């Protein structure tokens, strides 16, 4: 059976207002490391992304950070993990998407939303068939799901876009979903 090589984690460069976000980020990094998959993320050592990456690295997990050079002064980067320095935010996002076999989307701000819409749009256009899971901590993603459903109801998006949006509140279950669905897709 094929093995998931990399899980792209999209999340905030801030911790957010709830302790539950940071707890989940730590659990995500640990779960990815325990699964033997590589965690691919935005490269910074701040916020939820820094927590998830450092918790994976602390367990000996494989971590790839991709960061534009101009952000290093602002976000830093983790020592002891592979760091790829790129020129632009667009290059960062493209490499994050390309290097990932599945995507876990955690709470975050506008950068996370940009990544969300890019991977979801690419999936809808048939450019990839990689599993996507939203880590819905304390209902964080409910407003987005309502908006997506509204675009379906109003005839701007197909029902299949809503059908592919998997929400999971438990980090370990979200990782299991990605691992199991990627294996099916790779074995097919």
* 33-42 pLDDT, tens digit each: 999 999 999 9
Q: Give the chain's domain count.
A: 1
Q: So what's the pLDDT on residue 78?
A: 86
Q: What's the CATH number where 128 sits? A: 3.40.50.450
At 47 the pLDDT is: 96
Q: Report in angstroms the alpha-carbon separations of 101 from 43, 93, 146.
A: 18, 14, 27
What's the predicted TM-score (pTM) here? 0.91
Q: What is the mean pLDDT of the chain?
A: 91
Could you give the percent of the chain with pLDDT greater than 90? Answer: 78
Residue 174 counted as domain residue:
yes
75 sits in which H/E element: helix 72-75
Number of residues that this document lists for the chain: 188
Asked whether residue 17 is assigned to any structural domain, the reply reads: yes
Query: Is 65 in contact with 8 (CB distance < 8 Å)?
Result: no
* Paired tokens of 22: 């940071």
Is 188 contained in some domain?
A: no
Q: Which domain holds residue 52?
A: 6-183
Predicted confidence (pLDDT) per residue in 90-144, tens digit: 999 999 999 999 999 999 999 999 999 999 999 888 888 899 999 999 999 999 9
Assess if residue 1 is contained within a domain.
no
| Eight-state DSSP code of residue 139 | G
**Phi then psi for 63, rounded to 5 degrees?**
-130, 135
In a domain, 71, yes or no: yes
146 close to 105: Cβ distance less than 8 angstroms? no
């Amino acid at each position: 059976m094929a093995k998931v090589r990399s899980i792209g984690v999209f999340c905030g460069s801030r911790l957010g207002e709830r302790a539950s976000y940071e707890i989940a980020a730590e659990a995500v990094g640990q779960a990815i490391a325990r699964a033997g998959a590589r965690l691919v993320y935005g490269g910074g050592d701040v916020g939820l992304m820094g927590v998830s990456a450092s918790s994976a690295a602390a367990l000996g997990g494989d971590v790839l950070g991709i960061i534009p050079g101009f952000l290093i002064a602002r976000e830093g980067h983790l020592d002891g993990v592979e760091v790829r320095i790129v020129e632009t935010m667009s290059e960062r996002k493209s490499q994050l998407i390309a290097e990932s076999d599945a995507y876990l989307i955690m709470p975050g701000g506008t950068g996370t939303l940009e990544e969300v819409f890019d991977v979801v749009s690419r999936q809808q256009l048939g450019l990839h068939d990689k599993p996507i899971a939203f880590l819905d901590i304390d209902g964080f993603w409910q407003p987005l799901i309502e908006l997506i459903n509204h675009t379906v109801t109003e005839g701007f998006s197909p029902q299949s876009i809503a059908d592919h949006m998997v929400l999971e509140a438990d980090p370990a279950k979200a990782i299991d979903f990605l691992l199991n669905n990627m294996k099916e897709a790779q074995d097919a």
